Amino acid sequence: MPKPESSEKKSSVAPITAINDFVVKFANVNGSGSASANTLFAKAIFRMGVPVAPRNIFPSNIQGLPTWYEVRVSEQGYLAKRGGGVDLMVSVNPQSQLDDVAEVLPGGYFFYDNTRPLDIRLIRRDINYIGLPLTDITNREYDDARLRQLFKNVIYVGALAALLDMELAVFDKLIAEQFAHKEKLIKPNCDALRLGYKTMGEMYSCPLGMNVRRSDRVGDQIMMTGNSACGLGAVYGGASVAAWYPITPSTSVAEAYESYASQMRYDKEADRKDYVVIQAEDELAAMGMVIGAGWNGARAFTATSGPGVSLMTEFLGLAYFAEVPAVLIDVQRTGPSTGMPTRTQQGDILSCVYASHGDTRHVCLFPANPKQCFDLTAAAFDMAERLQTPIIILTDLDLGMNECMSEALHWDDERKYDRGKVLSSEQLDELDEFGRYLDVDGDHITWRTLPGTHPEKGAFFTRGTSRDEYALYTEKSPAYEKNMERLLAKWKAAPAWLPEPLIQSDGNSYGVMYYGTSADAVLEARDLAKSQGVALDCLQILAVPFHDSVTDFINAHDYVFVVEQNRDAQMRTVLLSELSCDPSKLVSVLHYNGIPISADVIAEQIINVLQHSVAVPASTS
């Protein structure tokens, strides 16, 4: 087959050369089966020992609209979205080609189906075009339309393997694992991969100067979505009741929980489960079920996103006031309202910390990677029962729905669940007096009883109305105030049960505070800033309410940049509300366009502020 002329035409700018440090972006049509092929590509890089961070950028749609899959390859282990353009665009969707071609960096590569000539408007002189007649090949090789579609995806992955010098054996093994239960699919997939590999090699000089080289930077790390890690964490944390209502991007939390629980807590012979998953009629009901189960002594959780949190707030206020354990996983998406349902954001900080009317405050946790998702979810059930209050875990779409590289998971078999203060029948027998809200230990946490425990003692009425220490309804102001003061004292003492912030400090003048998925971008930005002569200390917030070390960190620095993926600097508001610190010291670095934050945005904003530090703005909000 003759090589089409455009294939080998070199760009006016020198083609990008890079080893294990580049970004490949796939432009696909939603619902075309591209996701599994793209995942195969990313996983192969991971198996070659090279750190990789794949991200789905998808529409709120099932079939037909443009969808992208961006893979960052980074020998140095930078896992945040890389700022700037793309090194290699794999263009499989004509709908979005005009935008896609514009995203390629000068000297970069544009891979496309050259069965038909490229539209003249898509021609740039400063990039390299790599054509492969995907449609011709699949029409020739396959009779069935669906097969043509599916194998087209595998063929372009094979072509990439040739272009990027990837090991075919790695792909073979991955395909064999993927189809372990459908063995007859292994060979056709391996064949399609080789077809792409071979044809590409015949049509273009392979490999490119930009390619993948086997490395040892992965170690025993795993790749997992944050949602799966939360679901698995809930199994390990002892959750036996999950109630939920489907909502992007949290749906796969409940699905992962059910999948893992069905493997580990299901008696196949008896067809009986040691767990239950209830798909509720809405988020209100989901939260109500969690509270009912928590009241009755089972560990229970729900997972939702911002719109669901809005609906759950009345129940959250009840659980706070009546002191019922509950765990809520909020996988944040772009708000307000329906917002951009398939884009990421950290926009629910205020709506979670202060959810519900009246004076309420909720314990919130902020994992940044799958390992932290697992650890914090499992620990949240201890915290909920210890503190007898809702625990809200805030992740986001970026972490929740993307396969993220992470430290391996570990469970200490010596660890014992903390079931909190629950009186047994024997303990009740020994008690002269039981008051559900009587602070007998002076630690602001009172003993509770579970329904059905004791024939004579310990029964009480749980309510959202004001009550005295014996759970009897009262409208007496002193009793109401005493209870509210105790709840506040409990909140202030809560950090003793919560994870400490992660601090990296070298005594620099400037610090950066961040939480959740900004972590990877901040750590990369710190390196970027350092290369420009700015040294930064770092603090990752893992929990609200804050430990004293957060105050100490602020006090120890001239300025502390607070990095957030929302418009209104919500965590900064919480910091100022909860801590007595100088507002002018907390400088916001904000990014909220729905795309994950990248290091260049952070470094640029910080350096910009410091260069003009004669008048540092208190906040950009």
Partner 1 sequence: MSFYKPKFRHPQLPSNALGFTRAEYEGALSTLCAGCGHDSISAAVVQACWELDLEPHRIAKVSGIGCSSKSPTYFLNKSHGFNSVHGRMPSVATGAYVANHELTYIGVSGDGDSASIGMGQFAHVVRRNMNMLYMVENNGCYGLTKGQDSATADEGSRSKAGAINPFENIDLVGVALEIGATFVARSFSGDKEQLVPLIKAAIAHRGFALLDVISPCVTFNNHHGSTKSYDYTREHVQTGNIVDFVPSRSEITAHYGEGQNHSLNLHDGSVLNLSKTAPDHDPQDRRQAINALADSRDAGQILTGLIYIDTGEPDFHSMMKINDKPLNSLSQDQLCPGNEALQKINQKLR
Residues 224-263 that bind partner 1 (CB under 8 A): 224, 232, 235-236, 238, 240-241, 243, 260
362 DSSP β-pair partners: none
Residue of the chain from 143, 269, 271, 426 that contacts partner 1 (CB under 8 A): 271
136 binds partner 1 per the rule CB under 8 A: no
| Nearest-angstrom CA–CA distance, 1 and 484 | 80
Closer of 17 and 465 to partner 1 (Cβ):
465
268 binds partner 1 per the rule CB under 8 A: no
Helix/strand/coil (H/E/C) assignment for every residue in 331-385 = EECECCCCCECCCCCCCCHHHHHCCCCCCCCCEEECCCCHHHHHHHHHHHHHHHH
Residue of the chain from 72, 454, 557, 572 that contacts partner 1 (CB under 8 A): 454
Residue of the chain from 18, 168, 176, 450 that contacts partner 1 (CB under 8 A): 450
Residue of the chain from 19, 186, 276, 350 that contacts partner 1 (CB under 8 A): 276
Helix/strand/coil (H/E/C) assignment for every residue in 28-41 = EECCCCHHHHHHHH
Q: Which range, of 194-202, 246-254, 277-285, 494-502, touches partner 1 by CB under 8 A? A: 277-285
Closer of 102 and 264 to partner 1 (Cβ):
264
Q: 293: which residues sit within 8 A by CB, 6+ positions away?
A: 240, 241, 243, 299, 300
Residue of the chain from 84, 145, 169, 461 that contacts partner 1 (CB under 8 A): 461
Tell me which residues in 550-589 interact with partner 1 (CB under 8 A): none
- Closest approach, Cβ 178 to partner 1, in A, equals 12
Reference 462, options 477, 475, 450, 454; nearest CA is 450
Q: Which range, of 51-59, 160-168, 219-227, 593-601, touches partner 1 by CB under 8 A? A: 219-227
Within its chain, how far is the Cα of 562 from the centroid? 19
- The residue count for binding partner 1 (CB under 8 A) is 71
Residue-by-residue DSSP string for 162-209? HHTT--HHHHHHHHHHHTTTSGGGHHHHHHHHHHHHHHHHHHS-SS-S
10 and 209 in contact (C-beta within 8 Å)?
A: no
Closer of 431 and 618 to partner 1 (Cβ):
431
- C-alpha distances out from residue 248 to 37, 307, 341, 392, 592, Å: 22, 10, 7, 17, 18
Tell me which residues in 288-347 interact with partner 1 (CB under 8 A): 288-300, 314-315, 318
Q: Are strands 543-544 and 510-514 parallel, antiparallel or unpaired?
A: unpaired
57 DSSP β-pair partners: 68
- Closest approach, Cβ 36 to partner 1, in A, equals 16
380 binds partner 1 per the rule CB under 8 A: no
- Closest approach, Cβ 418 to partner 1, in A, equals 10
237 and 262 in contact (C-beta within 8 Å)?
A: no
- C-alpha distances out from residue 425 to 388, 431, 451, 456, Å: 20, 10, 11, 10
- Closest approach, Cβ 375 to partner 1, in A, equals 12
Q: Which one-letter amino acid corresponds to residue 336?
A: P
Strands of the sheet containing 21-29, edge to edge, are 52-57, 66-74, 21-29, 86-91, 104-113, 128-132
Residue of the chain from 79, 161, 287, 519 that contacts partner 1 (CB under 8 A): 287
- Closest approach, Cβ 330 to partner 1, in A, equals 19
Binding mask 417-446 for partner 1 (x = CB under 8 A): x-----------------------------
- Closest approach, Cβ 17 to partner 1, in A, equals 30
265 binds partner 1 per the rule CB under 8 A: yes
Residue of the chain from 9, 116, 173, 463 that contacts partner 1 (CB under 8 A): 463
- Closest approach, Cβ 432 to partner 1, in A, equals 18
